[in-house]
Structure 1
């Protein structure tokens, strides 16, 4: 597969991932009507791990970890999914989901900063402007709906911001680890860690509160099963696999801007599922987000092509006549 086909697949992967994440907000909202956050997350990741374990056990998917250190993956898994979802769950107990949307919009900005420092990824001025336009599009949609950061929710806002930092850090370290592990290997290990971490959190929480029956109660509700099947199979398993694949082919700074497409998809889902009204602000914000994503891709592609051209020229064989002229 040539680099052009690989880049196209990475873009398709990133768009599908953003679509899955955008709709996941609707399904998570449904799941939380029947269970607390830790219980929902526990079922979500346990289901993901069990489903992925079936083809692994049958030998259809090969997981080869011989001679590979798992320590970097454990560190990355602490950031995502463990810290990201845990901080998000606690944060949303003290702040609104709309405030979380404002903070989540800054993910591309933080990822660019982290990727520049840790991975030495460089972005052009035009790319930075495109990313800024996409971020502004998200903020425009949320703020024009009358949402703002309420400082009385300071504890929740801090936790939500830390969750965004966790996701940005994960994007950078996952990009680094894709050279050592295949996307399926990273996904499998992280699903295992997520299922253990959130399963333990749910058990500890209900054990301390004396509410162990609430761990089983949601399983009798059909809407909870529908939500968990989507969240477990698509929003956790497929999404993480798509993220790791995309990061193996695309810079972390470039991939992060796709996260803002989730806002557009969530907006469309709200209209189709809940009959929410779409406003001119939603349309304008969506246009800014999409233009920002396209701009990041186009200017990033030109930068890559220029770098490849320079690299090719630097390795070109010098003609004998030029050698003699230089002597």
Structure 2
């Protein structure tokens, strides 16, 4: 399928915007989790994202047509992301550290490259492979220099976090395939709707059984929590889903996936700007490696 230069530019801009939003989302996630549990936070963020998109669908001329399309594959996609990714990540971080999660998440582009080669027959050059590994090394280098490492005694958490990365890689590959018949809007609306219904059902059931419905509503008294959820719901769920799905409709899954490592660079910058965190030389070196890797993965392929 021939893609116009304008379409390619918008795809790369979407991938870059996606990484920037995710990079800032770590700040807002930390704030939200100070007031609410992981599952409740997911319920709120997907409630906001699904509500906003439903309003856009209801009051605009966005055409959603699911007739004659492989709906079961779209359900499988939503099972991978957001359901599988966020659930596995949340439980994985109960048994492992956030640093271990960051290190493992950096390997997502490698998993995506492998799955894309197997299922989509995507071909990457040797230089592209080296670039992807360079971006991964940049992230790992930053975490190692911070004194982080993977503790193999946290085997349960490590396995769950690994499978969360595998779920995201699977989403990237399956979405790339499904976006030949679905529009980015159609895929995004299904993902957000299924995410909201599932996380709300889990959260409500848990609170009803334990008799703690008041703790579900209590965070809404905090302005900081509401601001965080609005960012996580609108920007970090709705906009990132739209930008990711649009980018995947135009560029290869392996090229898109490597942009996820840019979120590490953005989170470092965000921490320095808003939390006063120190930026060391190893942050700069790692960031240069990540950016170079992203550039190489997208520019050093076959013409």
TM-score by length of 2: 0.97
Taking the aligned partners of 1:257 and 1:4, their CA distance within structure 2 comes to 21
The alignment partner of 1:121 has SS state of coil
- Is 2:221 aligned against 1:249? no
1:208 Cα deviation (Å)? Answer: 2.9
Taking the aligned partners of 2:266 and 2:144, their CA distance within structure 1 comes to 18
Count of aligned pairs between the two proteins:
302
Q: What is residue 319 of structure 1 aligned with on the other side? A: none
Q: What is residue 41 of structure 2 aligned with on the other side? A: 40
1:95 Cα deviation (Å)? Answer: 1.2
1:58 Cα deviation (Å)? Answer: 2.3
1:2 Cα deviation (Å)? Answer: 5.8
- Is 2:104 aligned against 1:76? no
- Is 2:18 aligned against 1:17? yes
Unaligned runs of 5+ in 1: 306-327
Q: What is residue 290 of structure 1 aligned with on the other side? A: 291
The alignment partner of 1:152 has SS state of coil
Q: What is residue 235 of structure 1 aligned with on the other side? A: 236
The alignment partner of 1:151 has SS state of coil
Taking the aligned partners of 1:2 and 1:74, their CA distance within structure 2 comes to 27
- Is 2:109 aligned against 1:125? no
Q: What is residue 134 of structure 1 aligned with on the other side? A: 135
Contact kept, 8 Å, 2:3 with 2:250, in 1: the verdict is no
1:158 Cα deviation (Å)? Answer: 1.1
Taking the aligned partners of 1:40 and 1:103, their CA distance within structure 2 comes to 23
Taking the aligned partners of 1:45 and 1:60, their CA distance within structure 2 comes to 23
Taking the aligned partners of 1:277 and 1:59, their CA distance within structure 2 comes to 45
Unaligned runs of 5+ in 2: none
The alignment partner of 2:16 has SS state of helix
Structure 1, residues 228-249: CA drift from partner, whole Å, max 9, x if none? 0000000000000000000000
- Which stretch of structure 1 is more off in the superposition, 115-124 or 145-154? 145-154
- RMSD between aligned alpha carbons? 1.1
- Is 2:169 aligned against 1:168? yes
1:153 Cα deviation (Å)? Answer: 1.9
Q: What is residue 90 of structure 2 aligned with on the other side? A: 89
1:151 Cα deviation (Å)? Answer: 2.2
Q: What is residue 269 of structure 1 aligned with on the other side? A: 270
Structure 1, residues 285-321: CA drift from partner, whole Å, max 9, x if none? 0000001111111112xx1x3xxxxxxxxxxxxxxxx
Taking the aligned partners of 1:69 and 1:246, their CA distance within structure 2 comes to 21
Superposition misfits of 4+ residues, deviation over 3 angstroms? none
Tell me which structure has the larger Cα radius of gyration.
1
